[in-house]
Amino acid sequence: MSLVAAALERRGIPTVVIQLLRMVAKKVRPPRALFVPFRHGYPLGQPNNPKLQRQVLEAALALFEVPTPDIPLFAEFPHNP
Partner 1 sequence: MGDLSEFSLKYKLFLRTYPWRKIDPVPFAEVTKPLSESRLGLVSSAGFVPPGQPPFDDTIRGGDPSFRCIPHDCDPSSLVESHKSDAFDHSGILADPNLALPLERIQELEAIGHIGSIAPRHLSCMGSITAPGRLIKNTAPEAAEVFIQDKVDLALLIPV
Give the footprint of partner 1 on this chain (CB under 8 A). Answer: 1-24, 27-31, 35-48, 50, 53-54, 57-58, 60-61, 64-65, 71-72
Helix (H) or strand (E) holding 27: helix 22-28
Instruction: Name which of 48 and 80 has its Cβ closer to partner 1.
Output: 48
Smallest gap, in angstroms, from Cβ of residue 11 to partner 1?
4
How far apart, in whole angstroms, are the C-alpha atoms of residue 38 and residue 44? 8
CB atoms near residue 17 (< 10 Å)? 22
